[in-house]
Amino acid sequence: MANFSDLVQMRYSCRNYLPTKIDNSLIAQVLETAHFAPSATNAQPWRVLVLNTSESLAKARQAYNREWFATAPAVLLICAQTDKAWTRSDGKNHADIDIAILADHITLAAADMGLATCWVCNFDAKLISELFNLDVNCKPLVLLPIGVPATDEIPPKKRLALDDFVTYI
């Protein structure tokens, strides 16, 4: 197990996975760890569908048809339950923020267990909703492929300098 700083630095967006099936118990461990993510007013407005059958993965590929995406042995479909989320006084529903926090916790928990992920938001959300018969209040926000990376090489990361986005006042 890496320390937190090392874990954050070694996590990357993986776009090539071994065909090794990920056991449901390992996915459950990742989700058990991640479900401690904070959410506004502790509403926990999330729903996660584990796509790991050939049928469910084929459906996901209809909404995001990329060659690399097809290498993932499992995909987590992370949805926001907007009717359960806290809404600020100006009308801003925080489900999307809560889902981002959960997804980040999942990526880190997976990396800690030797698995790789890649956050995908550029997919046909309407098609996903139809294919998986999601309720109108269950908004698909993230497709998160998860699996064993095909290589041990961690690609270099381009990061802004702290001075480019931090101001002390």
CATH number of 30's domain: 3.40.109.10
Range of the domain at 67: 25-148
Mean pLDDT of the chain: 95
pLDDT in tens, 20-77: 999 999 999 999 999 999 999 999 999 999 999 999 999 999 999 999 999 999 999 9
Residue for token digits 């990361």? 157
Residue 162 lies in a domain: no
Residue 49 lies in a domain: yes
Residue 5 lies in a domain: no
pLDDT score at 1: 56
Residue 153 lies in a domain: no
Residue 19 lies in a domain: no
| Total number of domains constituting the chain | 1
